[in-house]
Chains A and B, each alone.
Chain A
Amino acid sequence: EAQVTQNPRYLITVTGKKLTVTCSQNMNHEYMSWYRQDPGLGLRQIYYSMNVEVTDKGDVPEGYKVSRKEKRNFPLILESPSPNQTSLYFCASRGGRDNSPLHFGNGTRLTVT
């Protein structure tokens, strides 16, 4: 089954404790992206990657890092999480054409205390 898989689904952590949210897709998609979803603000792009070893900032990149060492994986790293990063995070991927629709994972609910 074609899918985008995120782990973990739920995560509670404390301020300053480094964490990684993993994302993997099995559709051989070049493009991958991370979003956060907050009430009243909708989906906002954090980082995206056009292909292996190619990453770029989205609209809200501060406090986040990403890497793209393999085509299928695109982890999101919070080096020193803060409470304002409490949010619902989604990983997404699409094929190489710029107008292809995005396929989303089922989300990671992160709480930083």
Chain B
Amino acid sequence: QKEVEQDPGPLSVPEGAIVSLNCTYSNSAFQYFMWYRQYSRKGPELLMYTYSSGNKEDGRFTAQVDKSSKYISLFIRDSQPSDSATYLCAMSAGSSNTGKLIFGQGTTLQVKP
């Protein structure tokens, strides 16, 4: 069983839709949770970063962490064609494990005009 599970998709939605992307994990020591966005032929870039449980909002993006369920989500409101990319969740236990990041497989999202 992988430490981090993420549905690879692909996920196709119409412009303006609300998108929900999710990851589950098995290691209860994870404390730091990140979402990276990766455009074609580019490296991953940090989109959202949260510590422990709770919500974080940044513009059209909201990250949620539910440590009791070992489940994290990324919501995209009013999705745009420019949001078409692969979204990778990543998490780490912090200093207890040299800060090693464990990545999900990535979900490919296509937003159609």
Contact A41 B105, beta carbon cutoff 8 Å: yes
CA distance A97 to B67 in the complex (A): 22
CA distance A48 to B97 in the complex (A): 13
CA distance A102 to B42 in the complex (A): 14
Chain B residues within an 8 Å CB radius of A48: 98, 100
CA distance A106 to B65 in the complex (A): 28
What interface size band does chain B fall in?
A: 20 to 34
Task: Flag whether A84 is at the interface (Cβ < 8 A).
Answer: no
Q: How many residues of A contact B (CB 8 A)?
A: 23
Among the listed A31, A40, A92, A101, which residue makes an inter-chain contact with B8, where contact means beta carbons less than 8 Å apart?
A40
Contact A45 B34, beta carbon cutoff 8 Å: no
Given A90-B43, A90-B44: A102 and B105 interface contact (C-beta under 8 Å): no
Complex: chain B residue closest to A35, CB-CB = B103
Chain A residues within an 8 Å CB radius of B90: 102
Contact A99 B99, beta carbon cutoff 8 Å: yes
* 9 closest A-B pairs by CB: A98-B99, A104-B43, A42-B105, A98-B95, A43-B103, A99-B32, A101-B46, A99-B94, A106-B43
